[in-house]
Chain A
Amino acid sequence: MHLRLAVLLAVFCLTACNSKKSAPRAGADTTDQPAGEVLELVFSYGSEKEEWIKECTAAFHARAPKTTAGKAIKVLAIAQGSGDCIEEAISGSPRKVHLTSPASEAYVKIGNARWASRAAGKELIAKTENLVLSPVVIAMWRPMAEALGWPQKAIGWSDILSAAQDPRGWSAYGQAQWGRFKFGHTHPEYSNSGLISVLAEAYAATGKREGLNAEALAQPSVRQTLLGIEQSVVHYGSSTGFFARKMFANGPAYLSAAVLYENNVIEANDAQRYPDLAFPVVAIYPKEGTFWSDHPIGVVEREWVTAEHRDAARQYIDFLLARPQQERALSFGFRPAAVDVPIAAPISTASGVDPKEPKTTLAVPPADVMDAALALWRETKKTSSVSLVMDVSGSMRGSRIKNAREGGRQLVANLSARDRFSLLTFSSAYQWLFQDVPLSSGRERAQQAIGGLIEGGGTALYDAIAEAYRAQTERQRADPARIGAIVVLTDGEDTDSRLKLEGLLQRIRFDSERQPVRIFTIGYGEQASEKALKAIADATQGRFYKGTPENIGSVFRDIATFF
């Protein structure tokens, strides 16, 4: 499921289906409003708490809540990355958000700083309350953690750095069969856990626990630490949940460890959710300190938020913080923000976590320091080599090709200047327009080429993917330090390839030890074969997206977060 775009319209059990009239609240004007008068409260939130919010929102609607003026309250709850929560609140597009809850205070700080620079010092989110909490942890397969000395020895970022930099990989720990040390965290510009990872790496390099500043970030040791750790990253991504699911479903061959939340570890060890888990997963609370994902919730201080929205927001927040909802949060693996709810199972060692951890935390630095840390990350992040495989068959005519061209250009725009890019188009046959162009000098050329694509002919999808995979694999062999990926966009089923799907799947099968090339597939419109495209993405540990002319821009943007 595409979390970034997921719009969660919970079940609204409003007055129409509620035969029992709710008791009027003291002092409220209980005069019934004309039928159908509804106040919609747009609520964006970090996708980490999606399941809990979905359940709570449905329960909230079931109570038929009303504003003081008597309008029915409908909460439109939208799960997305924390970065997007803030960006949307600032831009007011595509939705005008009234209430938001990113995964941590760090994004509130960033949002307030960005908005203050545009709006004469005003805050974007003035007051917040914590909904739930979860420490940021390094989730690791238990045997791997034990190989590093856990639990007798406290593990931290320095151990991750050592493992990441050791060319012998797990052999250095007497476990040659595990291959390379493979690490993962999300994209820090889109996802809270990614941002936290970068800040924690920087803190660990300085030896500080607070007071991270520009001067400290300028130290060569900080750059070296970030470079060392980031080179072991298999890929980035926009969603912590996606990372977690991939890790737990694909086992230690896919990832040795990843920066996740404590609640993700609890989910992993839930036998009902992951009956075939390769090994138990444990939460490592880094010895240098970590951050709390504290899920602040606050009204967006923009002109479209009325007193009625604030009234509705207050009722919704109070509902989320009430004991029954907080107890449910515990069952989802979160630490309740209501302190009268004691910490109990599943937050226990049986679920791979420690309720008495973390022992020390790191201070969220000011927004300008976080921006400086992100700039340093962009300079030290793992680079990518990306091939875009674009369907230009006759069926792509009209808005399809137009919007796909725009989306492809956006993909190129979002890649780093240190990345390399290739473009292969296909209709009845494939054609390389250019290969392995460094974007430092070739970005404009790449965007012009994508902008000039025209449609016509059949669909030799499998042949095109096979060719792109062959060429990309060769590039990976020559330059194994890069993330290798292919992005495929097609709007139809294969009609012209000599190669069949089974043959293609055999050629591209994932091998984590042989510098993998991941394929991200976009089924563009209803005619695309979702089944085949999903099989291709799954075979390479990539990801399948369902695209439309309307969402294709954000699909490409999301794919770019993996690199």
Chain B
Amino acid sequence: MNPESTQGPRITCLGQGVIVLFVASLLGFAGYLLWHKYAAERPTGPSAGSTSTESSPPPAGKVVEFGLAYGTEKKRWLEWAVEEFAKSRSGQRIKVNLIPMGSLEGGQAALSGDRRIHAWSPASSLYRDVFLQEWEARRGGGKSPLLKEETLALTPMVFVLWQARADAFSAKYKSVSFRTVGEALAEPAGWQAIAGQPDWGVFKFGHTHPQQSNSGLMTLVLMAYDFHQKERGLVLKDVLDPAFQAWMAKFEAGVTGMSNSTGNMMRDMVLRGPSTFDGLFVYESVVIDYLKNAEGRWGELRVAYPQRNLWSDNPYYILDVEWSSAEQRKAAQAFLDFLLTEPIQRQALVHGFRPGNPAVPVRFPESPFMQYERFGLRIDPPVSAEPVKAEVINNLLQIWQRTRR
């Protein structure tokens, strides 16, 4: 593979937008995290951005429906929340239609005028500016289609393996990292060579599709950081390094699955067991959400954090679009306010998210981060990697595309 070649695969306009604004969103989000870290230590507080007038229920006697396109990593939490909302006073005359979609897919659907969608909650704000740019390009008018933006919940990325496989892996490689996973993937004899277990087959590891899923793109960035053993200052030279490219190509050649949905991929691992995936690189939240289910199927899971991490902030956008009525916007706001209330945020915690409402504590005995420590979960976020420049992401995706040929 020639890194200098100009004949490489081209990234779509939308993809370029994603790259350009990936950096901006990470920078912005780094600021948010800093704020969150301190705000989380406050005992209580109102949910950010909500107002009592906005969340008032719709006029009596009329049921208002609105559609929320959302990333499947939040499926269980949101489905539960919708049921609870229906029982609440503000939810009495509101029907929330949950529309599961990939992070990019939801935005594309709204851009295409999907009249079912009145609010959108992708996995991260990574796509926000891309969405705005595309909206302006298609419709003009200079008016933002995002009426309201709010962070629902946070989660970092983790490695997850079945316990027996994690133990065998650690016995051989000492730690779980992109480097050691890459070594295992490159082992032609698979588990026979890794742990003397020929009936476990080859080492089967997966992550989502970087061009379709937020967690897939994060995987590539963290792989690059890990290869160069640094937390900041990842530059073009690093990703163009032939040694990195060769390592990444080898790594990706062994990766299986490549779903467009992190939630579905995790569910598949639990459903089909180690016969299909020995391990995945996914959001911490989806692992927590499936820990108990996994025990009921194939046994315990084990979690390991990469040395450097990136966060997903799960934003909630209320759309200001022509197919959305004032009542529907109010209904979307009412549901957002409900999602940010303490009981619902506590339930987000049960589903593995670190709450977006900083008033909701993470450190208490029943918290999954304390309760599930033995699975490898850590309450303190791992080191955050520094956001990288657009050209770095651009080249990273180009290189990745080549590995898929």
Q: Do these two chains really belong together in a complex?
A: yes
Partner-B contacts on A (CB < 8 A): 25-28, 130, 133, 135, 154, 209-210, 287, 289-290, 292, 294, 335, 337, 339-343, 356-361, 363
Q: Taking the complex as formed, is B271 at the interface, i.e. its CB lies under 8 A from any CB of chain A?
A: yes
Task: Give every chain A residue within 8 A of B94 (Cβ-Cβ).
Answer: 26-27
Q: Taking the complex as formed, is B322 at the interface, i.e. its CB lies under 8 A from any CB of chain A?
A: no
Task: Give every chain B residue within 8 A of A335 (Cβ-Cβ).
Answer: 271
Q: Could you tell me the distance between the alpha carbons of A138 and B93 in the complex, rounded to whole angstroms? A: 55
A343 touches which of B204, B256, B297 (Cβ 8 Å): B297
* Residues of B261-279 whose CB lies within 8 A of A: 267, 270-276
Task: Give every chain B residue within 8 A of A343 (Cβ-Cβ).
Answer: 296-297
List 27 contacting pairs A-B, 8 Å CB cutoff, sorted by A. A26-B94, A27-B63, A28-B95, A130-B271, A133-B272, A210-B202, A289-B275, A290-B275, A337-B271, A339-B270, A339-B294, A339-B296, A340-B293, A342-B296, A342-B297, A343-B297, A356-B298, A356-B299, A357-B275, A358-B275, A359-B200, A359-B201, A360-B199, A360-B202, A360-B204, A361-B275, A363-B256
User: Do A360 and B297 have beta carbons less than 8 Å apart?
Assistant: no
Q: Could you tell me the distance between the alpha carbons of A130 and B267 in the complex, rounded to whole angstroms? A: 11
Task: Give every chain A residue within 8 A of B200 (Cβ-Cβ).
Answer: 359-360
User: Do A209 and B201 have beta carbons less than 8 Å apart?
Assistant: yes
User: A133-B271, A292-B275 provided; 20 other pairs, C-beta below 8 A?
Assistant: A26-B93, A26-B94, A27-B63, A27-B95, A210-B202, A339-B270, A339-B296, A339-B297, A340-B293, A340-B296, A341-B296, A357-B275, A358-B275, A359-B200, A359-B274, A359-B275, A360-B199, A360-B201, A360-B202, A361-B275
A339 touches which of B202, B271, B274 (Cβ 8 Å): B271
Q: Could you tell me the distance between the alpha carbons of A292 and B268 in the complex, rounded to whole angstroms? A: 11
Q: Taking the complex as formed, is B290 at the interface, i.e. its CB lies under 8 A from any CB of chain A?
A: yes
Task: Give every chain A residue within 8 A of B293 (Cβ-Cβ).
Answer: 339-340, 342
Scoring A294, A342, A356, A360 by chain B CB atoms within 10 A of each residue's CB, the highest score goes to A360
The minimal Cβ–Cβ distance linking B320 to chain A, given in whole angstroms, is 22
Task: Give every chain A residue within 8 A of B65 (Cβ-Cβ).
Answer: 27
Q: Could you tell me the distance between the alpha carbons of A342 and B290 in the complex, rounded to whole angstroms? A: 12
Q: Could you tell me the distance between the alpha carbons of A363 and B277 in the complex, rounded to whole angstroms? A: 12
* Residues of B86-110 whose CB lies within 8 A of A: 86, 93-95
The minimal Cβ–Cβ distance linking B74 to chain A, given in whole angstroms, is 16
Task: Give every chain B residue within 8 A of A209 (Cβ-Cβ).
Answer: 201-202
Nearest 6 A/B pairs, CB to CB: A27-B95, A342-B296, A360-B201, A339-B293, A27-B65, A361-B275
User: Do A359 and B271 have beta carbons less than 8 Å apart?
Assistant: no
Q: Could you tell me the distance between the alpha carbons of A147 and B29 in the complex, rounded to whole angstroms? A: 64
Task: Give every chain A residue within 8 A of B64 (Cβ-Cβ).
Answer: 27
The minimal Cβ–Cβ distance linking A293 to chain B, given in whole angstroms, is 11
The minimal Cβ–Cβ distance linking A291 to chain B, given in whole angstroms, is 10
User: Do B199 and A210 have beta carbons less than 8 Å apart?
Assistant: no
Task: Give every chain B residue within 8 A of A361 (Cβ-Cβ).
Answer: 272, 275-276
Task: Give every chain A residue within 8 A of B299 (Cβ-Cβ).
Answer: 356
Task: Give every chain B residue within 8 A of A356 (Cβ-Cβ).
Answer: 273, 298-299
A289-B267 in contact given A26-B95, A133-B272, A363-B256 (Cβ < 8 Å): no
User: Do A287 and B199 have beta carbons less than 8 Å apart?
Assistant: yes
Closest to B197 in A: A359
Task: Give every chain B residue within 8 A of A292 (Cβ-Cβ).
Answer: 272, 275-276
The minimal Cβ–Cβ distance linking B290 to chain A, given in whole angstroms, is 7
Closest to B91 in A: A26
User: Do A360 and B95 have beta carbons less than 8 Å apart?
Assistant: no
Q: Could you tell me the distance between the alpha carbons of A341 and B294 in the complex, rounded to whole angstroms? A: 10
User: Do A339 and B267 have beta carbons less than 8 Å apart?
Assistant: yes
* Residues of B285-299 whose CB lies within 8 A of A: 290, 293-299
Q: Could you tell me the distance between the alpha carbons of A254 and B2 in the complex, rounded to whole angstroms? A: 61
Q: Could you tell me the distance between the alpha carbons of A343 and B294 in the complex, rounded to whole angstroms? A: 10
User: Do A210 and B256 have beta carbons less than 8 Å apart?
Assistant: yes
Closest to A342 in B: B296
Task: Give every chain A residue within 8 A of B296 (Cβ-Cβ).
Answer: 339-343
Scoring B64, B94, B256, B273 by chain A CB atoms within 10 A of each residue's CB, the highest score goes to B273
Task: Give every chain B residue within 8 A of A290 (Cβ-Cβ).
Answer: 275
Encode contact with A along B192-213: 1 for CB under 8 Å, 0 otherwise. 0000000111101000000000
Task: Give every chain A residue within 8 A of B63 (Cβ-Cβ).
Answer: 26-27
A339-B201 in contact given A130-B271, A292-B272 (Cβ < 8 Å): no
User: Do A339 and B290 have beta carbons less than 8 Å apart?
Assistant: yes
Closest to B86 in A: A26
Task: Give every chain B residue within 8 A of A154 (Cβ-Cβ).
Answer: 199
Q: Could you tell me the distance between the alpha carbons of A26 and B194 in the complex, rounded to whole angstroms? A: 55
Encode contact with A along B52-63: 1 for CB under 8 Å, 0 otherwise. 000000000001
The minimal Cβ–Cβ distance linking A66 to chain B, given in whole angstroms, is 15
The minimal Cβ–Cβ distance linking A286 to chain B, given in whole angstroms, is 11
Task: Give every chain B residue within 8 A of A360 (Cβ-Cβ).
Answer: 199-202, 204, 275
The minimal Cβ–Cβ distance linking A443 to chain B, given in whole angstroms, is 44
* Residues of B383-400 whose CB lies within 8 A of A: none
Task: Give every chain A residue within 8 A of B270 (Cβ-Cβ).
Answer: 339
Task: Give every chain B residue within 8 A of A130 (Cβ-Cβ).
Answer: 271
User: Do A289 and B201 have beta carbons less than 8 Å apart?
Assistant: yes
Q: Could you tell me the distance between the alpha carbons of A553 and B157 in the complex, rounded to whole angstroms? A: 57
Q: Could you tell me the distance between the alpha carbons of A495 and B272 in the complex, rounded to whole angstroms? A: 59
The minimal Cβ–Cβ distance linking A454 to chain B, given in whole angstroms, is 58
The minimal Cβ–Cβ distance linking B224 to chain A, given in whole angstroms, is 26
Task: Give every chain A residue within 8 A of B271 (Cβ-Cβ).
Answer: 130, 133, 335, 337, 339
Closest to B254 in A: A210
The minimal Cβ–Cβ distance linking A355 to chain B, given in whole angstroms, is 8
Closest to A291 in B: B275
Task: Give every chain B residue within 8 A of A27 (Cβ-Cβ).
Answer: 63-65, 94-95
The minimal Cβ–Cβ distance linking B219 to chain A, given in whole angstroms, is 20
The minimal Cβ–Cβ distance linking B115 to chain A, given in whole angstroms, is 11
Closest to A341 in B: B296
Task: Give every chain B residue within 8 A of A339 (Cβ-Cβ).
Answer: 267, 270-271, 290, 293-294, 296-297
Task: Give every chain A residue within 8 A of B274 (Cβ-Cβ).
Answer: 359
Task: Give every chain A residue within 8 A of B297 (Cβ-Cβ).
Answer: 339, 342-343
Q: Could you tell me the distance between the alpha carbons of A130 and B272 in the complex, rounded to whole angstroms? A: 11
Task: Give every chain B residue within 8 A of A135 (Cβ-Cβ).
Answer: 275
Task: Give every chain B residue within 8 A of A357 (Cβ-Cβ).
Answer: 275
The minimal Cβ–Cβ distance linking A289 to chain B, given in whole angstroms, is 6
Task: Give every chain B residue within 8 A of A359 (Cβ-Cβ).
Answer: 199-201, 274-275
Task: Give every chain B residue within 8 A of A287 (Cβ-Cβ).
Answer: 199
Scoring A26, A287, A342, A356 by chain B CB atoms within 10 A of each residue's CB, the highest score goes to A26
The minimal Cβ–Cβ distance linking B325 to chain A, given in whole angstroms, is 14
* Residues of B60-84 whose CB lies within 8 A of A: 63-65
Q: Could you tell me the distance between the alpha carbons of A135 and B297 in the complex, rounded to whole angstroms? A: 14
Task: Give every chain B residue within 8 A of A25 (Cβ-Cβ).
Answer: 95
Task: Give every chain B residue within 8 A of A289 (Cβ-Cβ).
Answer: 201, 275
Encode contact with A along B116-132: 1 for CB under 8 Å, 0 otherwise. 00000000000000000
Task: Give every chain B residue within 8 A of A342 (Cβ-Cβ).
Answer: 293, 295-297
Task: Give every chain A residue within 8 A of B256 (Cβ-Cβ).
Answer: 210, 363
Closest to A363 in B: B256
Task: Give every chain A residue within 8 A of B86 (Cβ-Cβ).
Answer: 26
Q: Could you tell me the distance between the alpha carbons of A28 and B86 in the complex, rounded to whole angstroms? A: 13
The minimal Cβ–Cβ distance linking A499 to chain B, given in whole angstroms, is 55
Closest to A68 in B: B65
Closest to B97 in A: A27
The minimal Cβ–Cβ distance linking B162 to chain A, given in whole angstroms, is 11
Q: Could you tell me the distance between the alpha carbons of A133 and B297 in the complex, rounded to whole angstroms? A: 12
Closest to A292 in B: B272
Closest to B66 in A: A27
Task: Give every chain A residue within 8 A of B273 (Cβ-Cβ).
Answer: 356
Task: Give every chain B residue within 8 A of A340 (Cβ-Cβ).
Answer: 293, 296
Q: Could you tell me the distance between the alpha carbons of A26 and B95 in the complex, rounded to whole angstroms? A: 6
Closest to A29 in B: B63
The minimal Cβ–Cβ distance linking B98 to chain A, given in whole angstroms, is 11
